[in-house]
């Protein structure tokens, strides 16, 4: 194993080695050097990219995806105080929620955690979120993206209603809309005027990452 | 010249009129049933079970079947000729479970009645003699509503429009009515008076049959105020039945958990047991109930179609040509093919076996990863990485649901006295394999198939007057529905349970 602390962070993450990872994070924190902390955060981000690739290629499944997401989140939590003092910023805020009438939150939560570990600020509105609550959150938090999840076909109509309400209140132009869940498709996204459909948390995070760089 | 006699083959529900004295082998062969040993009575591959009528036991069959199997009606088709009207269950067509295994305890009284298990996929009805408890006739057919969606959510969505609702209601009512007419036509007694028709099914089927507002079932919290006991005038159903029967639908336990599970609780006697009993009916929705006489909790978990081999690349129903069992022998995978011929695909029980064998041989890692591209089973049948992932999702949802329910009861898996598996999958899955993949963490000897628990429980309700009205309501009120979707532990458990046990 390499002595390079960044390589160590990455390999611990990819070996699901929690103790090793937290030790490596502690070593970075002890340095109290914002640049080293930034390097560490970058290394974790690289590691998560590899996690995402393994997931998309079928090598890893939900267990590994969620576990590495949690590890990265914990590591980021310890590193971020160092970053903030040096003025490092989050990639932006993403508001997420499951639409009215639907209580499924598994996919939404996995997306939220994974996107958070990739450096986004997540505002999770929960499940069964009313149209006006999505709109209010869009106004309050000024997110780069708004994500809606829906697994029940009978509730899919709410997705379009939220987008209409955002337009009506003049909020639509300032943000991107990403949707996901078993009831939705790429085609549905086009029909209701969403910017993207994400088949899984990793693809969804790739999409918002690309948006945040625009 | 011999007069023709009617023969019916279940569970596919095919029927034919054949000349008296025709060899059963000739009849069954026409319907695709295979005779692996060529009809010499050696292999048992053409097993049938007599559901109505009779086939006399021949001496050579005593070697192949146990006393119990013979008493249950199992025979070798190749050893018999058709002498009288027959309804047979063909073992090669293990697709649905028509009969219940439990012993029926009842108070005899004169009369006839009908019980119906109104399933999302299959509707099964029995005409019963209340004096003897005997099944006089049996009908099974596909639920014709399926053209509007195999899963309930699509059907509910269709039923939200006025014309859609009328169509769904009419479709299911006329199908059950037709089943009843066919059963009545099949019995020789022409002056039967039907006393009662008692139905059980999930909450959506309950609402369709009773023509209730579907809107509350379309969105969270999925609770309908009309989910209780319902009685309908047969005239409103468009049924003209002898004896002017009362037509009643047993009450649901909650938005997702229907009277099929309530009936299952009756069938397992969970509500009277001192020890903890569990019941699982694993289809697209995994329905679970666990408890004893002090407390029962139940839940429905969205398992997806993997247990029925849906969304599996080479998945198929458990009919002729399906790999239904896999074992490891001398380091090789050995497959059991229904009907004994060329394998065409794999059914749910075969998939569970195949994955269990894959875990044993190291072809599948505990995280579900295949060590190479796919696993060849037999012929051109193989399972893919995606197939294993589908099974991981299904088993994760069920195993997590069981953990939540046990947690609510403050019980451990080891304290569960008996674990009943209802339905077709539960009947045919190998308990040891189910345990190996971590679907159910119970010792194999405590796992018991119970067949169509819903039908058995409905019969018990029919025979037991004490279960009418208030008493039924009391039982219903004592069962607590746990909404898994909002349980704070469900997600973490589900993620953990998508992995296979690392032995």
pLDDT class of A25 with cuts at 50, 70, 90: very high
Q: Please name the residue of chain A whose CA is at the shortest distance from the CA of residue B156.
A: A154
**Distance of alpha carbon A57 from alpha carbon B361, whole angstroms:** 23
E-strand spans in chain A?
A: 93-98, 121-124, 145-149, 176-180, 196-197
Two tokens at A79? Answer: 């590193």
Query: What pLDDT band is residue A89 in, cutting at 50, 70 and 90?
Result: low
pLDDT, tens digit, 9 for 90 and up, residues A150-176 = 988 888 999 999 999 999 999 999 999
**Which of these, A109, A182, A90, A118, lies nearest to A147 by C-alpha position?**
A109
Whether A5-86 shares its CATH topology with A93-212 is answered no
Model confidence at B259: pLDDT above 60: yes
- Report the DSSP beta bridge partners of residue A165: none
Flag whether pLDDT at B100 surpasses 70: no
Q: What CATH code is assigned to A5-86?
A: 1.10.1240.10
- What's the whole-number mean pLDDT along residues B460-469? 71
Separation between Cα atoms, residue B214 and residue B131, nearest integer Å: 38
pTM for the model: 0.79
Q: Which residues on chain B are in Cβ contact (under 8 Å) with A124?
A: none
Give the pLDDT band of residue A1 (cuts 50, 70, 90): very low
Q: Which residues of B touch A153 (CB under 8 A)?
A: 153-154, 157
Determine the residue among B151, B164, B220, B299 to mutate to test chain A binding: the one whose Cβ has the most chain A Cβ atoms within 10 Å. Answer: B220
Give chain A positions within 8 Å (CB) of B499. Answer: 61, 63
* CB neighbours of residue B49 within 10 Å: 18
Asked whether the predicted pLDDT for residue A56 surpasses 90, the reply is: no
Kindly state whether B221 is in contact with chain A, defined as any CB-CB distance less than 8 angstroms: yes
CATH superfamily, with its number, for domain A93-212: Cobalamin-binding domain (3.40.50.280)
H or E stretch at B51: strand B47-52
- Position A86 confidence tier, pLDDT thresholds 50, 70, 90: very low
The pLDDT of residue B96: 45
| pLDDT above 80 for B149 | no
- More confident site: B283 or B482: B482
Q: What is the pLDDT of residue B29?
A: 76
pLDDT score for B428: 83
pLDDT of amino acid B465: 64
Mean pLDDT of chain B: 88
pLDDT value of position B94: 54
User: Cis omega (within 30 of 0) on the bond before B11?
Assistant: yes
In terms of Cβ atoms closer than 10 Å to its own Cβ (0-12, 13-18, 19+), residue B173 is: buried
Higher pLDDT, B41 or B257: B257
Cβ-based contacts of A200 with chain B (< 8 Å): none
Task: Say yes or no for a CB contact (<8 Å) between B153 and A154.
Answer: yes
**pLDDT (0 to 100) of residue B11:** 66
Domain locations in chain A as residue ranges: 5-86, 93-212
| A3, pLDDT greater than 80 | no
As a whole number of angstroms, the distance between CA B125 and CA B443 comes to 34
């Amino acid at each position: 194993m390499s002595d390079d602390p960044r390589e160590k962070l990455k390999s611990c993450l990819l070996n699901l080695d929690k103790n090793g990872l937290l030790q490596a994070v502690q070593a970075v924190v002890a340095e109290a050097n914002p640049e080293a902390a930034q390097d560490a955060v970058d290394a974790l981000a690289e590691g998560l990219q590899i996690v995402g690739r393994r997931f998309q290629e079928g090598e890893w499944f939900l267990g590994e995806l969620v576990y590495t997401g949690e590890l990265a989140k914990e590591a980021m939590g310890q590193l971020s105080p160092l970053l903030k003092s040096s003025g490092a910023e989050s990639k932006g805020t993403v508001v997420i929620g499951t639409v009215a009438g639907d209580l499924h939150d598994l996919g939404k939560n996995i997306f939220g955690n994974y996107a958070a570990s990739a450096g986004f600020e997540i505002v999770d509105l929960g499940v069964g979120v009313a149209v006006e609550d999505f709109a209010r959150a869009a106004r309050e938090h000024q997110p780069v993206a708004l994500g809606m999840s829906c697994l029940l076909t009978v509730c899919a109509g709410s997705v379009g209603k939220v987008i209409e309400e955002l337009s009506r209140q003049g909020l639509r132009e300032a943000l991107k809309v990403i949707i996901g869940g078993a009831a939705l498709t790429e085609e549905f996204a086009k029909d209701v005027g969403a910017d993207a459909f994400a088949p899984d948390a990793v693809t969804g995070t790739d999409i918002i990452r690309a948006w945040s760089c625009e | 010249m011999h007069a023709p006699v009617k023969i019916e083959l279940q569970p596919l529900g095919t029927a034919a009129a054949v000349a008296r004295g025709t060899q059963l082998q000739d009849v069954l062969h026409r319907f695709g049933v295979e005779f692996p040993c060529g009809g010499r009575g050696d292999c048992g591959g053409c097993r049938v079970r007599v559901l109505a009528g009779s086939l006399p036991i021949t001496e050579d069959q005593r070697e192949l079947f146990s006393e119990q199997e013979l008493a249950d009606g199992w025979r070798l088709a190749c050893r018999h000729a058709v002498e009288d009207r027959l309804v047979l269950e063909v073992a090669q067509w293990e697709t649905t479970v028509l009969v219940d295994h439990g012993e029926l305890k009842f108070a005899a009284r004169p009369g006839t009645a009908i019980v119906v298990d109104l399933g999302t996929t299959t509707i099964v009805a029995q005409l019963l003699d209340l004096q003897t408890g005997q099944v006089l006739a049996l009908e099974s057919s596909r639920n014709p509503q399926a053209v509007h969606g195999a899963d309930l959510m699509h059907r509910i969505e269709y039923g939200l429009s006025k014309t859609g609702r009328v169509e769904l209601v009419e479709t299911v009512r006329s199908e059950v009515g037709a089943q009843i007419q066919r059963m009545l036509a099949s019995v020789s007694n022409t002056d039967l008076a039907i006393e009662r028709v008692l139905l059980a099914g999930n909450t959506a089927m309950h609402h369709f049959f009773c023509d209730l507002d579907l809107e509350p079932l379309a969105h969270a919290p999925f609770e309908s105020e009309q989910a209780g006991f319902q009685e309908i005038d047969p005239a409103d159903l468009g049924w003209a039945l002898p004896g002017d029967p009362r037509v009643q639908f047993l009450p649901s336990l909650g938005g997702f958990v229907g009277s099929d599970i309530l009936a299952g609780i009756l069938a397992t006697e969970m509500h009277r047991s001192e020890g903890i009993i569990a019941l699982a009916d694993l289809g697209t929705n995994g329905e679970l109930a666990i408890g004893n006489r002090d407390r029962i909790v139940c839940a429905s978990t969205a398992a997806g179609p993997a247990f029925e081999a849906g969304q599996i690349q080479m998945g198929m129903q458990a009919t002729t040509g399906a790999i239904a069992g896999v074992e490891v022998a001398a380091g090789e995978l050995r497959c059991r093919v229904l009907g004994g011929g060329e394998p065409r695909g794999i059914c749910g029980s075969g998939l569970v076996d195949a994955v269990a064998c894959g875990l044993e041989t190291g072809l599948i890692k505990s995280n579900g990863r295949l060590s190479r591209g796919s696993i060849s089973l037999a012929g051109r049948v193989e399972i893919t990485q995606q197939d294993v992932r589908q099974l991981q999702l299904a088993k994760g949802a069920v195993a997590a649901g069981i953990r939540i329910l046990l947690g609510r009861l403050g019980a451990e898996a080891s304290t569960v006295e008996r674990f009943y598996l209802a339905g077709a999958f539960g009947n045919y899955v190998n308990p040891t394999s189910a345990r190996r993949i971590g679907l159910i963490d119970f010792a194999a000897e405590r796992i018991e198939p119970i067949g169509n628990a819903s039908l058995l429980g409905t019969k018990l309700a029919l025979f037991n007057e004490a279960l009418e009205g208030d008493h039924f309501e009391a039982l219903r009120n004592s069962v607590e529905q746990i909404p898994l979707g909002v349980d704070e532990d469900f997600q973490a458990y589900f993620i953990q349970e998508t992995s296979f046990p690392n032995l």
